[in-house]
Chains A and B, each alone.
Chain A
């Protein structure tokens, strides 16, 4: 004790701590510079901007406190519609993506390596193809008169059976959002599928062998072993997919422009319209802040609920 007392730990300042670890900081600097320039600075500036009435002329920018936020929730009917649509979109797309990708991964995992690679490639192709190309293809698929979907449904006798006219998938309020959801689902499965396949490969075979010896059924094995052990990956997929789907934009811009009758208006599309069509940067930034708070809160609760027993 006396020895320890003779050499009390020096109280180091934060700057000294950084200086001591300067080699490590230098290593991460190349990654942090673009982060600061392209993420952190715009984020802080966006927060600041949300309290301003800001158009293209910087000289006329005016601090207005919370006015933009008040207007969003009291006078902007379209924003409220966009908010509802975005939540609905997330509620449709995220569970479908997670469930389908787990389901596919479990089916594909036992297949021979070549077959597994083929499935991976097939589902990953839309991820690398780019949203614009896919949106263009889907516009054609959904076309009321010349589209592939209606052509197939007509051949299958769907319209005759139900006695209804051909559906304009993107032209009707009842089907437009679902059609966009279908497009987003089609290109959102690739990445989770690869992650789940990798995660399945990390589950020890011994666990399955033991369960089989104990007489567990296939369903029990999946429910009691596979699914719990996929939990870290599921959490990751859930959080990243939720964030991505909240930011749905390209399909709206290219396929519906938020219509018909605002049925596919989403928050990010509304941000885009206000900032880049109406030149209301401050108001657009306020919408961005609302989106940040929503996504941040949901991700936080997802971590709270699902992340308790996860080991990273």
Chain B
């Protein structure tokens, strides 16, 4: 592994442990109550939840069929909380790639090393990607274990497909934060812009299905390519995931180009 990737991961170690433990604790807590939900279909079944308006149900994370294993997993993990936690984790890590050290002045000595600017961006990004992958792999292992333990009856391959989407979505928003940091050098801008895009994209995906006037926005919204394929029920949305991956590549390329051209720490 290249030296700067390894060093950056070492810097991320504490956060990575924290996020992994936190996300796993959240998953364990929520997935372990599934049996009591499955046992009370009259309270949590489709008929009982039908009284909520459709748009509200969408915002609340679907509330679709939460008495079934796939429905429960979708609502609790993959609809809102999973993306939320993963995206926040990715954005915070990505912001520490360029913008935060630039603001603190610690980037100065890194730039004085015999490494090209492009390489610094690429290796820092690679550390974000690997770090996020660690969180993804560990939480995937936990979800599959819980699915088996509480008898959710969801295939491992489907969980893998959904978790892959989670990884790609979070890496996309993280790469956006890194790119904005590489372009502007301002962590607040990177944080606000990437967070804003994530929230707007979630809102668009939730509401645009019911509001025709903004339905076209779904096509530029990262959440559409994450959620629309419904991987827990339908398996791998390969095309959508390729689009997410392509968007990551474009943002990374933009970040490299921008960082290579500008003054740092002014």
Please say whether chains A and B are actual partners in one complex.
no
| Chain B interface residues (CB < 8 Å from chain A) | none
